[in-house]
Structure 1
Amino acid sequence: MYRPLQLRLTIKRWKSNEAIQNFIQQNQSIAQSSVFQGTLYEHTVMRELQYKLAMTKLQNTGGANDKGVDIKGCWPIGKIYDTMNGILQLDSLAIPKRCQANGAIFKPYRHKMATEAQLKVLVQCKAFRSSKVAPREFRELVGTFVSMVPSTQRNKTIIMMCSPNMLTREGITLINSVRMPLIYLRIEMLQPEGTGYNLVDSGKLLNYYENDYAAQFLQGCGIKEWLKLAMFNKS
């Protein structure tokens, strides 16, 4: 049944906040703990990944034995590509058959999209209120990727780091030096409001940054344009 655009968007936002609301209600007894705040941030990140980047099958895997991965899921980038192609004619872009980054040679995802419908995503969340993510955290993330993802799957998997803070210059240099597709997302923490949290005007995706490898690998897919034009509000 057809629904007016604004009503469809309201329903979509409500569904994306439902898991967060359930988590808050079920964990009131530990609401002041760092464990609560960390898990709340993971749920906030999942909301933004699902709503803003059209990711699916997201699972919160954070815990004592998470091996450095807090969220796993799938990214059917074809949805983003199809939408942006209709606007920007992305299929007219000349995407090279092979690219190179830091000595690694690989095929851009655009040339594999027809046979590989979606990418896997591994996400690490750092709910730092004040301190920025240091190079040490990125080195640990790279180690996690190497240990968890077989070499045959490394161009089928995107690794992400999420934090409320901007990248440091050292962090940018480090992630641009690695031979794997890595994306940094700056996502706010939810802000308290009354006896709960502001689920409407806080916890938003603020910045999306692809390292050099990811920028080559995902070229011509329209992801940055999708975010810039806020197409997630229109799909």
Structure 2
Amino acid sequence: MLNRLRCLPGRRWKSNSTIKRFIDENRAIANTTVFQGTLYEHTVMRELQGKLAMTSLQKTGGANDRGVDIRGSWDVAKVFHTMNPILKLDQTEVPARCKLNGVTFKPFRHKLPRETQLKVLVQCKAFTSSKVAPKEFRELLGTFASLVSGPQRNKTAIMMCSPNMLTKDGLSLINSVPMPLIYLRIEMLRLKGADYDIADSGRLLNYYENEYAAQFLQGMGIKEWLKLSMFK
């Protein structure tokens, strides 16, 4: 089940100015799929930065992006250290090793404080109506396998972002793969009159970790961080 987030009052993140500039500079092609796709990527970057403490985000989408639209770093240690005084996460028992789908791995909690960040590879699907099906995830999984070497696979999280829900088959597929995969449902910016409502649309609506990611990130307080809106 996808974790539903509370819709919060609009807040002007620094990247809103980037979104506005992109819209103003590209009004001539505003009805094209290229414009809508790029606008969605900018919206996703804003939400990742503002609500999940991601940094060094770079938009890489293009003809040779190999299926990756955004790259960056995720400061999961910041989330842990913010939530620890509230939830006493350091007193929560986390197994030293987990095994899932034939793969044994160490939860990230046991890597602190030596490691503090994860690399992230993000794919954006600006679908206007259809749900996200297995076909889209297979492309992303192939990208992960080709770009991330074995030693880096527990240092990298892959994410897919779309305005729509997952199909039942899509959900089953992502829970069967031996890699940390997170699905983010982020709405597209809505028109308000003749312009886009940058402040009050394009929000992160759902956050879902596949079974591997849920075990890998257990005890980090990420879901609680989102539910309690600690990013404000």
Q: Do 2:74 and 2:119's aligned partners in 1 also have CA atoms closer than 8 Å?
A: yes
CA drift of 1:193 comes to 1.3
Residues 153-193 of structure 1 deviation map (CA, whole Å, 9 limit, x = unaligned): 00000000000001111011000000000000000000011
Q: Please identify, of 215-224 and 193-202, the stretch whose mean Cα deviation from structure 2 is larger.
A: 193-202
Q: SS at 2:170's partner residue? A: helix
State the match for 1:150 in structure 2: 149
User: C-alpha distance in 1, partners of 2:182/2:116?
Assistant: 19
Structure 2, unpaired ranges of 5+: 1-8
Counterpart code for 2:85: G
Q: What secondary structure does 2:15 align onto?
A: helix
Whether contact under 8 Å (2:129, 2:164) holds in the other structure is: yes
Does residue 226 (structure 1) correspond to residue 225 (structure 2)? The answer is yes
Q: Distance in 2 between matches of 1:93 and 1:231?
A: 20
Could you tell me which amino acid in structure 2 is paired with residue 139 of structure 1?
A: R
Partner of 1:42, secondary structure, is: helix
SS of corresponding position for 1:132:
coil
Task: Give the aligned residue type for 1:36.
Answer: F
1:40-61 CA-to-partner distances (Å, cap 9, x unmatched) read 0000000000001010000000
The aligned residue for residue 209 of structure 1 is: 208
Which residue of structure 2 lines up, in the alignment, with residue 174 of structure 1? Answer: 173
8 Å Cα contact 2:13/2:50 also seen in 1: no
Runs of 4+ more than 4 Å apart:
none
The residue number in structure 2 matching 1:4 is none
Structure 1 CA distance for aligned equivalents of residues 201 and 68 of structure 2: 24
Which residue does 1:51 correspond to in 2? 50
1:85 pairs with 2:84? yes
* Secondary structure class of the residue paired with 1:232: coil
- The aligned counterpart of 2:114 is 115
Q: Which has the higher contact order (CA 8 A, sep 6+)?
A: 2
Q: Deviation string for 1:105-140 (max 9, x for gaps)? A: 000000112111210000000000001111011011
Q: Determine if the alignment matches structure 1 residue 73 to structure 2 residue 40.
A: no
1:101 alignment partner AA: L
Q: CA deviation at 1:34?
A: 0.3
Q: Percent identity?
A: 69
* Structure 1, gaps ≥5 residues long: 1-8
Structure 1-normalised TM-score? Answer: 0.93
How far the C-alpha of 1:83 sits from its partner, in A, is 0.7
- SS in structure 2 at match of 1:183: strand
Given residue 82 of structure 2, which amino acid in structure 1 is its aligned partner? Answer: T
Q: What letter corresponds to residue 154 of structure 1 in structure 2?
A: R
Compute the displacement of 1:19 (Å).
1.2
Q: The residue matched to 2:61 in structure 1 has which SS? A: coil
Question: Which residue in 2 is equivalent to 1:3?
Answer: none
SS of structure 1 residue aligned to 2:67: coil
CA distance in 1, matches of 2:112, 2:168: 33
Give the Cα–Cα distance (whole angstroms) in 2 for the partners of residues 131 and 171 of structure 1.
12
How many angstroms does 1:97 deviate by? Answer: 0.4
Alpha-carbon distance in 1 for matches of 2:15, 2:99: 37
The 2-side partners of 1:50 and 1:115 are apart by 23
Query: In the alignment, what sits opposite 1:24?
Result: 23
* Length-normalised TM-score, structure 2: 0.94
Match for residue 6 of structure 2?
none
